[in-house]
Structure 1
Amino acid sequence: MHEVREISESIYDSVLKSKFRRLSEILENPFFLQVGACDGVTSENMRDVFNETDWSAVMLEPLPDMFAKLQVNWAHKPKFQLVNAALAPYDGTAEIRRIPPEDVRASDAWEWGISSLNGVDSSFGRPGFHKETAEFLTSRSRLEQVKTISFETLKKNVGIKRIDYIQIDTEGYDRIVMEEIDLVRFRPFLIQCEIYNLSTVDRAKLFGYLQRHGYSILYWTFDLIAYHL
């Protein structure tokens, strides 16, 4: 039976970075996939580790303004390929709900990163927010059309041959994204995925999906680590 265990935030961060650094030591030419990269800085708890290692990567961010910031913030990493699209079950376009840049409050910079293909029922009205915050986000959010790309097309376009680490942060769309990635073919050693915006049903489906593919799971309120190291 694969382990499923709740841990504290501090232990979570320590375990995640420790496992990532261990992969850096034992793997030759390691590669990671990041879905929902935002600007590469805001709420990026792995930025220091990404900076200190020599991994190759593909990072996806659908919002054009956030993508422009991402390009600037990772310009010093030539082995990072950046893709201006949302990972989805199909190629084309979709409407994404986000907070307009002009409405982001100076005291809450994390609002830059809130955007979801799941719409208003995920990150904008989630139970974890204070009532006034949820009302503000809902009233200020807007729909914006973005490009979508399937995993199969992404794999062909950027030449993905292996994936050692996956990071997913898509504000409630996370289970769908996870299930689009071929875990049988690629079988990454380490997965980080946001779970805070998932419904109880979607969270159970995500945990079950990862366990069926042979992963143990450590989690806290916001995120999970799945691994088979």
Structure 2
Amino acid sequence: MSRTISYSMFAEDIIASKYLRDGEQQFYVDVGCCFPVVASNTYGFYEAGWRGICLDANPDVIEPFRQARPRDTVICTGVGGAAGTLTFHRFGNPVYNTFDPDRAARLKRRKPHVPVLDPVDVIIRPLTEILIDASCPERFDFLNIDVEGLESEVISSLDFERFRPRLIACETIVKNVREALALPVVGQIEALGYKLVGMTGHDSFFIDAQR
């Protein structure tokens, strides 16, 4: 993929493409995929012929996603460290949906104009288990994580000895590198053998230092 048009919120797909020009598997895993085209970090790769596994806990986005991206495996599920169920807090704009009750409460205070929908209980599964069932390649190119505050749980649920992405984009929402380095999830990813190589303010990028 090499393009100058971005579908992402802050050109994350263009940044990712710089590190993935020679995609080995041309395969991505998108956790918290939400929209199939607009604001997607993976649609540019799909448009270039790639395919992948796309996960979202919101049942309302699954069928439109499947229709827009038929090559992808699209699964309605939450992702966490242990199998079970969690309450999924939903809003009129699904980009704000979250499993984090504190984050949901803050959003209601800060953005009272955003409609609040009824919460639903959603099945949670470890990412390793999901990727095994979906026949994911063990060495794939791109892992994108945007789960509104539970990124650390997603990382913890993946066995990096079995499945190892070359590049990770993780939602961090910070103003500068100093703030990014202070986040626990950044240290968690670096401890797995990844190097922080870029950020947009919304997402941070990590390249596998072992390749």
Q: TM-score range, shorter-chain basis?
A: 0.7 to 0.9
**C-alpha distance in structure 2 between counterparts of 1:147 and 1:116, whole Å:** 14
Residue 203 of structure 2 corresponds to which residue in structure 1?
223
Task: Confirm or deny: 8 A CA contact 2:170 2:205 kept in the other structure.
Answer: yes
Kindly report the root-mean-square deviation, in angstroms, between the aligned alpha carbons of the 2 structures.
2.9
**C-alpha distance in structure 1 between counterparts of 2:63 and 2:10, whole Å:** 31
* TM-score normalised by L of structure 1: 0.73
**C-alpha distance in structure 1 between counterparts of 2:199 and 2:104, whole Å:** 19
1:49 paired to 2:28: no
> How far did residue 203 of structure 1 move?
5.9
In structure 2, give the amino acid aligned to 1:220.
T
Residue 57 of structure 2 corresponds to which residue in structure 1?
62
Q: Name which structure has the greater RCO, CA cutoff 8 Å, separation 6+.
A: 1
Unmatched tracts of structure 2, length 5 or more: 1-8
Task: Confirm or deny: 8 A CA contact 1:61 1:84 kept in the other structure.
Answer: yes
Runs of 4 or more off by more than 3 Å in structure 1? 9-14, 200-203
1:125 to 81, 86, 106: 106
**C-alpha distance in structure 2 between counterparts of 1:146 and 1:47, whole Å:** 25
**C-alpha distance in structure 2 between counterparts of 1:114 and 1:174, whole Å:** 14
Residue 212 of structure 1 corresponds to which residue in structure 2?
191
**C-alpha distance in structure 2 between counterparts of 1:88 and 1:202, whole Å:** 23
**C-alpha distance in structure 2 between counterparts of 1:208 and 1:112, whole Å:** 28
**Equivalent residues, number:** 195
1:23 paired to 2:47: no
* TM-score normalised by L of structure 2: 0.79
C-alpha change, 1:182 and 1:124, in structure 2 (3 Å) is: same
Task: Confirm or deny: 8 A CA contact 2:171 2:203 kept in the other structure.
Answer: yes
Residue 92 of structure 1 corresponds to which residue in structure 2?
84
**Among the aligned pairs, what percent are the same residue?**
18
C-alpha change, 1:65 and 1:142, in structure 2 (3 Å) is: same
In structure 1, the residue corresponding to 2:165 is in which secondary structure?
coil
> How far did residue 223 of structure 1 move?
0.6
Between structure 1 and structure 2, the one with the greater Rg is 1
